[in-house]
Amino acid sequence: MSCYRPEAPVMSPAVANPHDHNPFALMQPRVPVVTPKEARNGARVIANDVAPQGVYLPDYNVLTPYMRSPEYVQMSTAAAITLGVTPGRMYRCECTRCLNLLLTYPEGCRANCAYCGLARHREAERDYADRNFIRVDWPAVPLEKTIDIVARDGAASPFHRMCISMITHPRSDADTRTVLERWTARIDPSVIPISILSNPTTMTREDVKRLRDLGADIFTVALDAATPELFERTRGKGVQSPHSWAKYWEILHAARDIFGPQKFGAHIIIGMGETEAEALALVQQIVDLGGHSHMFCFFPEKGSLMDHLPATPRDQWRRVQLARYLIDYRDVRVEQMRFDGEGRVIDYGLPPGELDAIIDAGVAFRTSGCPGKVAEDVSACDRPYGDSPPSNIASYPFAPAKRDLVKIRRDLRIAKRK
Ligand code: SF4
């Protein structure tokens, strides 16, 4: 997404990390500052009375209270380029295969997750539509214009999947349903299947069911944090945010019951302070429930409460990335793997020849997420450079080439066998 600014300077003076992994003690978020009253709840934007004009690119600085879902949605820069509503080119990618539609409101997301660029504590600093999220800008586009383009392209659409991403807002559930209804009225969900990236905090089991009944194919829950302690620290009371681990699991279990096997998943961010053993135990737990995990490499998002912390070292990330793929798609169990005293993977539980073949196939190192039209283990949601700069790719948005595999093996410290 951000290949036209390949070396985005996203790290504030980072904490020096002497480790080859990000330990819990190091990954402490900053305390959120109190937002002045006059900037709360999108007050600056709401005070204006300007109608939005077509596509809004971040930093236009047009304060328009009417640019809100369901009439408007935000989409990643990669999706906007692929849709043709903004110019640009992406490093080594033709397009993205997933059209992610993020609900948008001048009041923004009411949660305060420590690693997230959309978090509430940024109210005083940047208006919602101008905030960066997973390293890139998110243009706001009229929903009808988006649907018109995709409906016009029909089966020739470059998109293999559409995903509605909810945020924490009182209108989020109702507007997700409206977006889904307007989309499916014109676009066949069997041609472009639909995922929901949910916001469990505002949802009930009945809400999950309604989304299935309206045509959603896959339902995901962004746990993001891999343990209850990390969740509380980064998404709960630790940062004055409303989320709870128990509520997220309640909705994840509802998704399993309602959407069924292989049709639900959980997002996990690696490198926020969990051990590799903890992250992979969670991956196994989700596979045992019948779902998949979609993984992100922690990157210090500019403006977030964790922007002073180090990105996940590549060796930690690669070990977890490979092990997660084995558990999700190659029937290896976490109990077959071995870990050292700090929870690092030291044995993947497979004979070296088999492991070699899987590394060389490269799929394990591609972006993980809901599948598209290529294969079950190849994600439509390729999020180009959403978790790393293009100069040191964490999740490959394309099939890694030979030169990429050389680097991957170096990260893993696994030499190719003769
Ligand atoms: S709920 Fe989602 S969008 Fe809102 S702050 Fe948390 S991670 Fe960001």
Q: How far apart are CA 273 and CA 16, in angstroms?
A: 15
Query: Tell me, what DSSP letter sits at residue 130?
Result: G
Distance 3 CA to ligand 1 centre (A): 24
pLDDT for 155-197, tens place per residue?
A: 999 999 999 999 999 999 999 999 999 999 999 999 999 999 9
The residues, any chain, with a CB within 8 Å of residue 156's CB and separated by 6 or more, are: none
Distance 2 CA to ligand 1 centre (A): 21
CB 101 within 8 A of CB 163: yes
Which of 76, 101, 113, 247 has the most ligand 1 atoms within 8 A of CB, as the residue to mutate? 113
Which of 100, 167, 197, 245 has the most ligand 1 atoms within 8 A of CB, as the residue to mutate? 167
The H-or-E segment that residue 99 falls in is: strand 98-103
**Ligand 1 contacts CB of residue 223 (under 6 A):** no
**Ligand 1 contacts CB of residue 116 (under 6 A):** yes
Query: Tell me, what DSSP letter sits at residue 56?
Result: B
> Own/partner pairs for 388-393, CB < 8 Å, 24+ apart?
388/297, 388/299, 388/311, 389/2, 389/6, 389/7, 389/8, 389/10, 389/135, 390/2, 390/3, 390/6, 390/91, 390/92, 391/6, 391/7, 392/314
Mapping DSSP to helix (H, G, I), strand (E, B) and coil, where does residue 2 land?
coil
Nearest CA to 367 among 345, 344, 392, 386? 386
Can you tell me the mean pLDDT for 402-413? 96
Q: How far apart are CA 294 and CA 379, in angstroms?
A: 9
- For residue 61, what pLDDT band results from cuts at 50, 70 and 90? low
**pLDDT averaged over the chain?**
91
Top-ranked range on mean pLDDT: pick from 47-56, 71-80, 176-185, 369-378: 176-185
Whole-model pTM above 0.85?
yes
Identify the residue whose C-alpha is closest to ligand 1 atom 5: 119
The H-or-E segment that residue 197 falls in is: strand 194-197
Residue 205 burial (CB count, 10 A): 14
